[in-house]
Amino acid sequence: MNLPGEVVIKEVGPRDGLQNEKLLVPTEHKISWINQLSSTGLTYIEFSAFVSPKWIPALADAAAVAKGIDHVQGVTYAALVPNQRGLERALEASVDEVSVFLSASETHNRKNINKSIDETFQVLADVASGAKTAGKTVRGYVSTVFGCPFEGNIKLEEVIRVIESLLEIGISEVSLGDTIGVANPRQVAETLDVLLKRYPSESLALHFHDTGGMALANILVALEMGIKTFDASVGGLGGCPYAPGAAGNVATDDLINMLHAMDIHTGVDAPKLISSARFIQEKLGKKLTSRKLQACQT
């Protein structure tokens, strides 16, 4: 097997995970949790989103979280930003990196952002420009790359069009999202086969949800094809409010378990990570879905 020696995991639980929870986790618990995550060896934590509290009430305290957490050397603290107002708040809060987002599906983009893809780009271009002027790197999420709850299959040329536009506005890394967890290994191989002829593997990350349980199989394929950056969420937290039935992100704990078993270095301490998963599980008062967490509980 052609596997890399090292992989970067971008922890998105505090943002992508919590944004879907009905229960509002108190700010002090979020801070405590993110500090635990910072101590696991993770080098990237998307800690919140500077979006309107009307859209995502669960993340209304982004500024207070940014202020309260320890900013550990060597860890990038990123936040999602939808527009200029969000960027201003993110810069005030001294984030290390800004993430922008849009969908490869016109319908999903409209449901999620209330704009067409082209209209969204005009906003994102300003955000990216402003962030870079302030000395920040910008990451771009593309949703529904492998399937849309409204449109079904998304043509690869649509995905390429969105990636091109993101790279043009100076995005440093594009994270390709399987928002509803329908990607299969053959599809991942076929998609990457096309994309990696156009873009260097360092410019792409993969972001799998685990609705069908195929996330680790998909990651395996991507690893073999040269992708070395993956988004994940402790305990398998997450979902999508505009994608009914979708499960959470691939669980960071399951991902590092597979990677470490294959002698792939992540720098993450597995027992500390499981502790942090248990912590947020207890605060949410519900069983999270990661296999590793379930196995430890029996």
CB of residue 188 vs a second copy: minimum separation in angstroms? 10
* By the rule CB under 8 A, 197 interacts with a second copy: no
Question: In this structure, what token pair is assigned to residue 198?
Answer: 């156009």
CB of 289 to a second copy, least distance (A): 7
What is the Cα–Cα distance from 281 to 100, expressed in whole angstroms?
28
> Which tokens go with 153?
């299959």
Q: Which stretch binds a second copy (CB under 8 A): 19-27, 72-80, 183-191, 277-285?
A: 183-191
- The stretch among 28-36, 40-48, 87-95, 257-265 that binds a second copy (CB under 8 A) is 257-265
Report the residue from 112, 144, 211, 229 that binds a second copy according to the rule CB under 8 A: 211
Does 156 sit near a second copy (CB under 8 A)? no
| Main-chain phi, psi angles of 83, to 5 degrees | -165, -175
- Listed residue (136, 100, 102) closest to 117, CA to CA: 102
Binding span for a second copy by CB under 8 A among 26-34, 122-130, 156-164, 251-259: 251-259
| Beta carbon of residue 263, minimum distance to a second copy (angstroms, whole number) | 7
Measured from the Cβ of residue 64, the count of other Cβ atoms closer than 10 Å reads 15
Nearer to a second copy, 138 or 243 (CB): 243
Tell me, by CB under 8 A, how many residues bind a second copy. 38
- Of 222, 240, 246, 256, the active-site residue reads 240
Considering only residues 258 to 277 of the shown chain, the ones binding a second copy according to CB under 8 A are 258, 261-263
- Supply φ then ψ for residue 11, to 5 degrees: -80, 115
Count Cβ atoms below 10 Å from residue 258 Cβ, excluding itself: 16
Site string for a second copy, 21-50 (x = CB under 8 A): ------------------------------
Identify which of 68, 155, 170, 56 has the alpha carbon closest to the alpha carbon of residue 105.
155
Rg (CA), the chain: 17
Point out which span in 54-62, 65-73, 179-187, 266-274 binds a second copy (CB under 8 A).
Answer: 179-187
Backbone angles phi, psi at 70, to 5 degrees: -70, 130
| CB nearer a second copy, residue 5 or residue 135 | 5
**Whether residue 240 lies in the annotated active site:** yes
Structure tokens at 79: 């936040």
Q: Which two tokens stand for residue 74?
A: 């060597």
Find the shortest distance in angstroms from Cβ 278 to a second copy: 15
- Provide the mask over 218-247, with x wherever binding to a second copy is found by CB under 8 A and - wherever it is not: -xxx----------------------xxxx
The torsion angles phi and psi of 254, rounded to 5 degrees, stand at -70, -40
Residues assigned a catalytic role: 240
Residue ranges in contact with a second copy by CB under 8 A: 1, 3, 181-182, 184-187, 189, 210-214, 216-217, 219-221, 244-247, 251, 254, 257-258, 261-263, 289-292, 294-296, 298
